[in-house]
């Protein structure tokens, strides 16, 4: 299923592995649903202006749902293949 999501970054986990650095983005939507993206997508990692995204940044993407899960009692959605729609101003 493809979703359109407006997400705010809550936390970025940096993983250094044998194949280089990868990232886990822990984000939430306006309803406080947790959305996880693991990967190196420029869409998630960088603004259209070419600056690195950080905690608190909000943006809108389309993405494919990879999995629905529960972690520590909190429902979360894992997404893949994010594509940018628009850049919203961050507070």
Using an 8 Å Cβ cutoff, are 52 and 45 in contact? Answer: yes
Q: What are phi and psi of 89, to 5 degrees?
A: -65, 140
Taking the model in full, what pTM does it have? Answer: 0.84
Using an 8 Å Cβ cutoff, are 9 and 55 in contact? Answer: yes
pLDDT of residue 65: 94
pLDDT of residue 86: 53
Residues present in the chain in total: 91
For the chain, 91 residues long, give each residue's pLDDT as a single digit of tens: 788 999 999 999 999 989 899 899 999 999 899 999 999 889 999 988 889 999 999 999 999 999 998 888 888 999 999 998 754 544 4
Q: What are phi and psi of 44, to 5 degrees?
A: -85, -40
């Amino acid at each position: 299923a493809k979703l359109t999501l407006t997400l705010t970054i809550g936390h970025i986990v940096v993983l250094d592995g044998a194949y280089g650095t990868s990232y886990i983005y822990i984000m939430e939507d306006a309803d406080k649903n947790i959305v996880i993206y693991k990967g190196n997508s420029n869409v998630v990692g960088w603004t259209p202006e070419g600056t690195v995204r950080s905690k608190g940044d909000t943006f809108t993407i389309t993405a494919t749902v990879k999995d629905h899960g529960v972690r520590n009692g909190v429902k979360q959605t894992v997404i893949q293949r994010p594509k940018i729609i628009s850049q919203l101003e961050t507070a």
